[in-house]
Amino acid sequence: MRAGGWLTHRDIAAARASWQHARDVADRLPDADTGRAAMRIAPRTLLCTSAWLAGGTMADTGFDELRGLASAAGDKVSLAMATAGWVSALTVHARFREASELGSELASLLESINDPTLTLGLLYTSLAAKYEVGEMTEAEQLAQRMIDLANGDANMGNLIIGSPLVSAIMLRGCARCFLGNPGWRADVDQATTMVRAFDPTLRAMVLLFKHSLFATGAWLPDAPALNETAELLELAERSGDNLTLACARYVRGLTLLAYHGPPHEDAFALLAAAREAALQERFTMVVATYVDLCVAEEKARNGDLDGAIDLSRAAVEVEYASGDLLVRAAGVSILVSALLRRGDPTDLLEAQAAIDRLAAVPTEPGFIMHDIWLLRMRAWEAEARGDDASYRDYRDRYREMANSLGFEGHIARAEEMD
């Protein structure tokens, strides 16, 4: 156990090997040993807590066994720590609905323990899970709870991530963006500034949330964004950590692609590397879907509409199956655009069905991200049907909404519509 603790921030794979060995030794202790239960729980707790960071399969983590042991021993703290790790592992493996449900259990468990430092350190996992499934009101509330608990201390509760406070500020901003709250920009800017004082892994995670907002159309990258992602990639390459490097490559690739300055080849090479890391379970697996959508959009831009439709159709199905709501509307728009451009007899019907399916997705009051994308897609659909009056109506409403929200990406897209 001591060896694993020493290795935790040096070589997570070696640390986990030490904890697995400790688990096996503890399991061989005689039943009469009074410390056996605690010694069986401790390594399993650390294995569950670190599962999301290590990557790879979730098969050998033993969360269900740990939950049984900790419950029998009345060890709520170990159970909370293991649950937090398991929620993160579920999120990394794109099992978002399960992560959200277990995240609610974790929040209740932490409430019963009533330890401010432990709560601050572990509640981030519930927050991230709620954000992924579009439960933005609850995500904002959880983030605010963490911010209040930290009371300005950026290092308090750094049990799983380097700074729960910085992460909470970033995710509060992201959640507010999806709710149309103009305060989101101040949160994102504050977290971006604060995270510079921390290690490359935390910087990569926090900037991942920030730069993923490109796909929503909320903002567009600028020169400072190019600089911060270039610096992050350089730091990640020096760190030698696979998760940090994959995250930095993805963030840099997204930024280059959205900026439209440097050659697209650079962006797609970075995105392809991040996608490969996700497929090998060394990075959050939903990134593979996000990258596929980027590639599909590029195929459509280059005239390969068949390829764009096939790839985006498959990616959209993954989005629905996983429960992720962050880029679902953007993904559907890529599919709808390609279908309407190809214009085969059944394409308009499929595009209409895709739009209606997205419109039927239940979202909480105030969740505006689907609404703005739907206005854009319904304008396309009306134009394809030759309904000029409806097209102008949807177009004007889209422009009005984009401008009222100050969403730079949508403002630019709306200006391109005749």
- Best CA proximity match to 143, nearest among 162, 129, 123, 163: 123
Distant-in-sequence, close-in-space partners of 264: CB < 8 Å, separation ≥ 6 = 256, 257, 298
- Section 370-376 average pLDDT: 98
Q: How many CB atoms lie within 10 A of CB 60?
A: 10
Distant-in-sequence, close-in-space partners of 84: CB < 8 Å, separation ≥ 6 = 49, 106, 122, 124, 125, 126, 160
Q: What is the pLDDT of residue 59?
A: 62
Q: Output the average pLDDT for the chain.
A: 90
How far from 307 is each of 204, 230, 311, CA to CA, in Å? Answer: 32, 31, 6
Distant-in-sequence, close-in-space partners of 279: CB < 8 Å, separation ≥ 6 = 285, 288
Q: Which of 25-29, 84-88, 191-195, 212-216 has the lowest mean pLDDT?
A: 25-29
Q: What is the pLDDT of residue 139?
A: 98
Q: What is the pLDDT of residue 254?
A: 93
Measure the CA–CA gap between 163 and 301, rounded to whole angstroms. Answer: 40
Dig out the tokens for 24 from the structure. 């096996």
Contact 61, 281 (CB under 8 A): no
User: What are the pLDDT digits (tens) for 300-348?
Assistant: 999 999 999 999 999 999 999 999 999 999 999 999 999 999 999 899 9
Q: What percent of the chain has pLDDT over 70?
A: 92
Q: State which amino acid sits at residue 26.
A: A
DSSP class of 8: T
First to last CA, the chain: 65
Highest mean pLDDT among 46-50, 180-184, 238-242: 180-184
Percent helix, strand, coil in the chain (nearest 5)?
75, 0, 25
User: Is the pTM here over 0.85, yes or no?
Assistant: yes
Measure the CA–CA gap between 362 and 134, rounded to whole angstroms. Answer: 10
Q: How many CA atoms lie within 13 A of 108 on its CB side?
A: 6
User: What are the pLDDT digits (tens) for 1-18?
Assistant: 565 454 445 556 666 677
- Best CA proximity match to 202, nearest among 231, 261, 160: 160
User: What are the pLDDT digits (tens) for 56-82?
Assistant: 556 656 787 888 888 888 999 999 988
Q: What percent of the chain has pLDDT over 90?
A: 72
Measure the CA–CA gap between 132 and 103, rounded to whole angstroms. Answer: 12
pLDDT at 142 over 60: yes
Q: Which residue has the tokens 């422009």?
A: 399
User: What are the pLDDT digits (tens) for 252-270?
Assistant: 999 999 887 666 789 999 9
At 303 the three-state DSSP class reads coil
Q: Which of 32-46, 62-76, 147-161 has the lowest mean pLDDT?
A: 32-46
Dig out the tokens for 40 from the structure. 């069986």
Q: What is the pLDDT of residue 28?
A: 83
Cα 20 from chain centroid? 29
Instruction: Label residue 188 by pLDDT band (50, 70, 90).
Output: very high
Q: What is the pLDDT of residue 198?
A: 94
User: What are the pLDDT digits (tens) for 262-306?
Assistant: 667 899 999 999 999 998 877 888 999 999 999 999 999 999 999
Q: What is the pLDDT of residue 7?
A: 45
Dig out the tokens for 113 from the structure. 């323990």
